């Protein structure tokens, strides 16, 4: 039951301070561990680039608890273990005739971890992965199970919880009838033309992602289009802002198909197949969200740091998300553009650069991703999330003994 894995995150840049990491095989085992632990925190697939999932006590690696998938097509829900990876369960959902509204670009992350930190895919009309949650099964400090469901008082505060309300063991999410998609590649687009039309570009398909290194162009735009039921394909444009549709490439061991071929939703929404492990240990990440109405100005502000950014950057991916009501959501209240940086594994250099980068985004209300690198302190975070005081009260009521407290929560959220 006790893990023999190194106590490091996915990139190898965060060393967990927990006294031990334990991998329970059942919810009952997890409940027993919680009940006899002074400090405990849930751990998913270790894809956070900071200490948001850390604790000084026991870390519970929830990936060992079986998926135990239950699909209710009449209710439009699927329920499964919180440690389940999206890429593992997605084909089973498809086989049951249902689909998720969205996935992250990386299918290796767990549902519980993605929901807890506000992780997302892309799509101007699509909410983050947390918005699909119908209910959560949570272990309290006494090890007893409780359910937090949509419509309950405080649900919008509990759904994106950063592990501070208890150990989430099962999640119930909305599903819809299975659908098919195609993924097409366009580019390059001159920088000025792209920035002047950034919202239109990202509204051009069901899900859209754009790539740049903040030079003279956006090198590539991916349009992920849904194929209507009863048809074999869907029409896509031959050009996007004058940039041609490229031949793309078929699926391989590193990327899902980008050649316009039609396939299941779960093999087109992510960028990577589940049997590949892209850039593990070779990168660090930061993500910054700004209201979509400020997208052009925010991108120009970031580009002003291009000479400092580029030596440390693999690529920046631009994505959009719809507003949602979750208290700690980076999209709480307004549609956003996400400026995601995949940095080379230069954590010290990136940490030194982030204060200036985030200062450039501050006039636009730039919010960081909870699970990525950021320089913002508690005062800055307080100003960006107006419902943070409500969240603190929710934590105090749910965890009066501070069983689930963390250094990240104390330092960044003052919980």
Task: Give the model confidence (pLDDT) of 232-264 as tens digits.
Answer: 999 999 999 999 999 989 988 789 999 999 999
CA 49 to each of CA 43, 198, 210, 238: distance values in angstroms, whole numbers, following the listed order? 13, 28, 22, 38
The answer, yes or no, to whether residue 5 has pLDDT greater than 60, is no
pLDDT at 281: 64
What domains lie within the chain, and their CATH numbers? 180-267 (3.30.70.2530)
Rounded to whole angstroms, the Cα distance separating 96 from 20 reads 38
What is the CB neighbour count within 10 angstroms for residue 245? Answer: 17
Cβ-contact 169, 139 below 8 angstroms: yes
The three-class DSSP label of residue 246 is strand
What is the CB neighbour count within 10 angstroms for residue 58? Answer: 20
The answer, yes or no, to whether residue 279 has pLDDT greater than 80, is no
pLDDT at 23: 95
pTM for this predicted structure: 0.96
CA 221 to each of CA 28, 212, 224, 245: distance values in angstroms, whole numbers, following the listed order? 46, 9, 10, 9
Q: What angle do CA 340, 345, 347 make, to 5 degrees?
A: 85
Buried-exposed string 168-205: b where 16+ CB fall within 10 A, e elsewhere: bbbbbbbbeebbbbbbbbbbbbebeebbebbeebbebb
The answer, yes or no, to whether residue 377 has pLDDT greater than 80, is yes
**Range from 249-263, 275-289, 310-324, 362-376 carrying the lowest mean pLDDT:** 275-289
């Amino acid at each position: 039951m006790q893990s023999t894995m190194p106590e490091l995150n996915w990139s190898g840049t965060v060393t967990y301070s927990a006294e031990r990491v334990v991998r329970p095989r059942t919810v009952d085992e997890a409940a027993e561990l919680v009940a006899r632990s002074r400090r405990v925190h849930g751990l998913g697939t270790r894809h956070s680039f900071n200490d948001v999932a850390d604790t000084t006590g026991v870390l519970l690696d929830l990936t060992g608890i079986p998926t135990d998938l239950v699909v209710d097509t009449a209710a439009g829900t699927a329920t499964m273990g919180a440690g389940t990876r999206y890429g593992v369960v997605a084909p089973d959902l498809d086989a049951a005739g249902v689909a998720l509204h969205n996935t992250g670009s990386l299918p290796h992350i767990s549902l519980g971890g993605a929901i807890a930190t506000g992780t997302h895919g892309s799509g101007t009309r699509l909410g983050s992965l947390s918005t699909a949650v119908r209910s959560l099964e949570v272990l309290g400090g006494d090890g007893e199970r409780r359910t937090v469901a949509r419509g309950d008082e405080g649900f919008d505060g509990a759904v994106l919880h950063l592990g501070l309300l208890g150990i989430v063991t099962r999640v119930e999410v909305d599903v819809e009838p299975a659908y098919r998609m195609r993924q097409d590649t366009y580019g390059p687009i001159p920088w000025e033309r792209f920035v002047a039309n950034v919202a239109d570009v990202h509204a051009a398909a069901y899900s859209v992602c754009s790539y740049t290194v903040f030079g003279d162009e956006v090198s590539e735009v991916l349009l992920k289009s849904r194929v209507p039921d009863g048809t074999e394909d869907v029409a896509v444009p031959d050009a996007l802002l004058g940039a041609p549709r490229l031949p793309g490439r078929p699926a391989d061991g590193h990327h899902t198909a980008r050649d316009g071929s039609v396939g299941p939703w779960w093999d087109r929404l992510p960028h990577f197949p589940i049997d590949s492990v892209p850039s593990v240990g070779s990168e660090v990440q930061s993500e910054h969200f700004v209201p979509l109405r400020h997208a052009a100005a925010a991108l120009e502000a970031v580009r002003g740091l291009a000479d400092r950014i580029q030596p440390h950057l693999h690529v920046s991916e631009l994505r959009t998300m719809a507003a949602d009501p979750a208290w700690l959501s980076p999209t709480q209240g307004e549609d956003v553009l996400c400026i995601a940086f995949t940095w080379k594994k230069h954590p010290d250099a990136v940490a030194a650069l982030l204060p200036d980068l985030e200062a450039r985004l501050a006039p636009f209300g730039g919010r960081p991703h909870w699970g990525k690198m950021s320089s913002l302190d508690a005062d800055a975070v307080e100003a960006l999330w107006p419902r943070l005081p409500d969240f603190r009260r929710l934590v105090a009521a749910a965890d009066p003994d501070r069983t689930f407290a963390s250094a990240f929560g104390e330092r960044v959220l003052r919980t």
